[in-house]
Amino acid sequence: MTRTVFTGGTLFDGTGAAAADADVAIEDGRIVEVGHGLDGDESIDASGHTLLPGMFDCHVHVVLSGVNLLRDLSTPFSLQFYEAAANLRTTLATGITTVRDAGGADLGIAEAVRRGLVPGPRMQIAINMLSQTGGHGDDWMPCGTTVTTFVPHPGRPGSVVDGPAEVRRKVRELIRDGADVIKVATSGGVLSPTSKPKHAHFRDDEVAEMVAEATAAGIHVMAHAQGTEGILTAVRNGIRSIEHGIFLTDEAIGLMLERGTWLVPTLVAPRMAIAAADGLPTSMVDKAKSMITQHTESVRAAIAAGVRIAMGTDSGVGPHGDNLDELALLVECGMTPAQALHAATRSAAELMSLDQELGTVEPGKRADLVLVEGDAEALIPQGGAALRAAIRGVWQDGTRVA
């Protein structure tokens, strides 16, 4: 087995320690040693570079390549799977080696990555999002027809449900079909035809049922939750992460701290929706524009209070490959660059229950690594494009993949 050593670089190890000079040795897909003066069979000169753990994006949609309703109506059904392959490859090249797909990807896509048929980040998948009738995932249009973003097929069942009994059956079906996480919309959303972001969706008994079923299967629930009441419903019923969290209040933040609930802010998401204005109804674009200031204020308050943050983007609503833009927005909301990187490494790994294997550069962990020219922390406030341009290599399980 070949022992490869990254020498002479600065290591941001993701543990919370300050970045410092260190060598890193990898062998057989694992990190085997971190220290100084290490030797090996092969050497990679990291002088003038920062070595990072492989990064995470905890909220993506790999089968989407932007939201454009008119374009979607003329797109062949199976094209999404080929687009997913391209989107996964693009995401991997940004240094993101693990993602949580929040709806759209089915078991076949995840399995293609696991088997090495398609290069991409390792994946956890939600398959589809539970929605009440008239909720964020109900694609009924005012004209009386339905324009479905995620068309049901044998590996991706429809997921509009009402009442605890329907919830129970649908969660079990999604788990049977390979879901690693259950996703629910406990509020309305921006990119849905009739729902309003401030409105709460699903009642406590329904949310408690989905959490109970997921827990029985050893997995968690993530909640698209923008409005305050939807956030509160999710948190008090044991949902693990709030996605978006646009209308957070002191009460909601306090309850999240009490319960240890994570926030995945997706600050870039409404900006991506606005950029896609030509392909969306005016009502959706107007909703997105109205959210940005409130979203920023809510995330800033959550960060200041100490809510646990993991990085996620909602990529798929906008372009894949721009994922690192989220880090600069987290800094604008009060994080230091090191804290933003932590949100994309160890914190994200903890959210996804992968921290025993990933998220830090420590002996025994899987050798997911990103080599960045220059000081990675200094690049983050300059924006995602600056950090992307500085990436000089990406390794996954010790193999160079970009």
Distance CA 240, CA 73 (A): 35
Residues 6+ apart with CB under 8 A from 290: none
* Residue with tokens 């060598």, as numbered in its chain: 23
What number is the average pLDDT over the span 341-361?
A: 98
C-alpha closest to that of 244 among 305, 183, 304:
183
Percent of the chain with pLDDT over 70: 96
pLDDT in tens, 238-268: 999 999 999 999 999 999 999 999 999 999 9
Which residue would you say has higher pLDDT here, 383 or 280? 383
Show me where the domains of the chain are located.
3-53+359-400, 55-323
In this predicted structure, what is the pLDDT of residue 163? Answer: 98
CB atoms within 10 A of CB 267: 26
pLDDT above 80 for 275 = no
Whole-prediction pTM: 0.95
Instruction: Quote the Cα angle for 85-86-92, to 5°.
Output: 90
In this predicted structure, what is the pLDDT of residue 61? Answer: 98
- Tokens encoding 325: 């833009």
SS3 at position 355 = coil
Which amino acid type is present at position 6? F
CATH topology of domain 3-53+359-400: Urease, subunit C; domain 1 (2.30.40)
What number is the average pLDDT over the span 221-244?
A: 98
Q: Kindly report the backbone phi and psi dihedral angles of residue 110, in degrees, each rounded to the nearest multiple of 5, phi listed first.
A: -60, -40
Helix axes 228-236, 250-259, angle to 10 degrees: 20
In this predicted structure, what is the pLDDT of residue 190? Answer: 74
Q: Are 146 and 140 in contact (CB under 8 A)?
A: yes
Q: Do 55-323 and 3-53+359-400 fall under one CATH topology?
A: no
Task: List residues bridging with 35 in a β-sheet.
Answer: 23
pLDDT in tens, 65-89: 987 777 888 899 999 999 999 999 9
Query: Which superfamily is assigned to 55-323 in CATH?
Result: Metal-dependent hydrolases (3.20.20.140)
pLDDT in tens, 178-211: 999 999 999 988 766 667 888 999 999 999 999 9
pLDDT above 60 for 279 = no
Task: List residues bridging with 187 in a β-sheet.
Answer: 200
First to last CA, the chain: 22
The H or E element that residue 239 is part of is: none
Q: Are 368 and 329 in contact (CB under 8 A)?
A: no
In this predicted structure, what is the pLDDT of residue 98? Answer: 98
In this predicted structure, what is the pLDDT of residue 234? Answer: 98
pLDDT in tens, 306-323: 999 999 999 999 899 999
pLDDT in tens, 283-299: 666 666 777 899 999 99
- Tokens encoding 55: 């990064």
Which residue would you say has higher pLDDT here, 146 or 119? 119
Distance CA 29, CA 218 (A): 27
pLDDT above 60 for 277 = no
